[in-house]
Structure 1
Amino acid sequence: METNKIKKHFDRDGYVYLPGFLSQENVETILTKLSAVIAEKVQTMPSQHVKYEDTGDLSTLKMLQDLQVYDPFFADILFDSTFTRLAEVLLEEKVTGKTLEYFNKPPRIGKATPPHQDGYYFMLEPMRAVTMWMALEEVDRENGWVSYVKGSHKKGMRPHIATNTLGFSQGIADFGLKSDLDNEVFFPAKPGDLLVHHALTIHRASQNTSLTRTRKAMGLIYFGVSAKEDVAAKEAYVASLNKQP
């Protein structure tokens, strides 16, 4: 898709779907690097950067945060890559790469991601940020596909309340309105397919109901340089989350 069309779709819908953004070869390289980090560094990573569905059970690993800190390969992806340049096109300004994350939903126990807006966590003014989600293996209804509420980025921040979902502590309090469900679009994805959404776009992901399949993905977050972060409030919020069991 041409750059101007990508930007048009993003501005209209609050998200854009880019199939085949990375080749299978590039995806395999990412998976190999991820496997090395998991094998060599997870045991010594701070608890705030590692989350499990069943604490300490590596087979239930759910999330790794700030991978750019642990391997220069991931730092290069976050700070100087086609992902970085895409974020600049969508936000129409230079960007700051904030984090590169690994997500998984283990078979049978991978929980649903509650409907939320990333901007609720970001605490930015103005709210100029994008989140990128890349499938590292095939994703569909069974193992936890992602959905977006089309156009929801134009309607501001919705009220959020606490959830019991590790790694996604807040969810939209009144999700399920007719306008939500009528405009929700679900995305099956293949390895290398990329989804990008605005920080105000409502989205969620299904649980993994498969008995055998994982659901591995990579996430990247970019802030526009014009966005100002309430650092003190954000640090206090993150600290409160890390105190939770």
Structure 2
Amino acid sequence: MTPDLDTLASDFRRDGYLAVRPLFDAARIAEINQELERYIAEVMPMMPPEEVYFEDRADRGTLKQMQKLGEYDAYFRDLFETGPVRDLATAALGEEAVPKNLQYFNKPAGIGQPTPPHQDGYYFHLTPCRAVTGWLALEPVDEENGCIHYVRGSHRAEGFRPHGRSNVLGFSQGITDFGTPGDTAGTVAFAGGAGTFLLHDARTVHWAGPNRSPTRSRRALGFVYFGASARVDEAAKAAYQARLNAELKAGDKI
């Protein structure tokens, strides 16, 4: 479908997120899933270990996350850099959306861990914090297998909520004071079918539950874009990444 960019950008400014159900039809999602299977079989084995996360590294069926798909494969680079996802990011930001990271996320059946409440901008080290993250469901998602929840309007608060070590693979920091009356009242859950697309501000508080389904996974792609005006504190980012990689290696996660 062709989304109404003006309406969606207005939703984004008001709520801190937007939703398109679906952004891609069944045929395109089938194509993306097929290309993903190819990528996992052919490309993933050549990726640096710090860019591939498993719930249990001894069990290759527990693949949880992959980073920078667009850097290793032309199909995913095109999906990331051209077409409706980047158009939506540009409309939401009100400036050029610069592609930064295309990620794969999964919550394996029965063992997929919860995603702690967090704000993406806390990880990004940007000034100003002008960035968005898109999320594309590759299969149906609901409360049982871990749909995303947003706190409506949370992007308008000054600065970031306090974050601390979460011990959740792939989401190293979580909000430590989450659960206020405002959090509860403002929460919106986003169940949807394959092809559902969400886009949120880097300051928007969000999280997802565990995968309690014994049979269904919860596979998705994440698209990170920075606004052209944003600048990265490279020293802070590098120090954070070094600490994270050391912790993951110590825990035999990468």
TM-score, normalising length: structure 1: 0.98
Q: Which residue number corresponds to residue 130 of structure 1?
A: 132
2:155 is matched by which residue type in structure 1?
A: H
Paired position in structure 2 for 1:216: 219
Percent of paired sites with the same residue: 46
Is residue 37–residue 70 contact of structure 1 (8 Å, CA) maintained in 2?
Answer: no
1:200 aligned residue: 203
Aligned to 1:20: 22
Paired residue type of 1:122: F
Q: Distance in 2 between matches of 1:188 and 1:229?
A: 33
**Cross-structure match for 1:168:** 171
Q: How do residues 86-235 of structure 1 correspond to structure 2 at under 5 angstroms?
A: 86-156=88-158, 157-235=160-238
Moved over 6 A (4+): none
Deviation at 1:44, TM superposition (A): 2.6
The Cα of 1:99 is off from its aligned counterpart by 0.7
CA deviation profile, 1:183-229 (whole Å, cap 9, x unmatched)? 10001011111000000000000100000100000100000010011
Alpha-carbon separation, structure 1, partners of 2:70 and 2:6: 30
SS at match of 2:113: coil
Paired residue secondary structure (2:244):
helix
Report the secondary structure of 1:130's partner residue: strand
Aligned to 1:4: 6
Measured against aligned partners, the alpha-carbon deviations of 1:39-92 in whole angstroms (never above 9, x if no partner) come to 112223211110000114111000011001221011111112211111111111
> How large is the RMSD of aligned CA atoms in angstroms?
0.9
Task: Give the 3-state SS of the residue equivalent to 2:129 in structure 1.
Answer: coil
Looking at structure 1, the residues matched to 41 and 5 of structure 2 have their Cα atoms a distance apart, in angstroms, of 38
* SS of residue paired to 1:243: helix
Q: Secondary structure at the match of 2:104?
A: strand
Structure 1: segments with no counterpart, 5+ residues: none
SS in 2 for 1:195: strand
TM-score (ref. length: structure 2): 0.94
2:59 counterpart residue number? 57
SS in 2 for 1:217: strand
157-166 vs 43-52, greater mean Cα deviation = 43-52
- Quick one: distance in 1 between partners of 2:120 and 2:58? 27
Q: Which amino acid aligns with 1:182?
A: A
Cα distance in 1, alignment partners of residues 19 and 184 from structure 2: 19
**CA separation in 1, counterparts of 2:235 and 2:82?**
28
Matches within 5 A, 1:67-82: 67-82=69-84
Distance 1:219 1:64 in 2: 10
2:239 to 233, 236, 240: 236
Instruction: Report the Cα distance in structure 2 between the residues aligned to 1:116 and 1:238, rounded to whole angstroms.
Output: 17
Question: Which secondary structure state, in structure 2, belongs to the residue aligned with residue 90 of structure 1?
Answer: helix
Cα distance in 2 for partners of 1:167, 1:174 equals 20
Tell me how far apart the structure 2 counterparts of residues 9 and 69 of structure 1 sit (CA, whole Å).
31
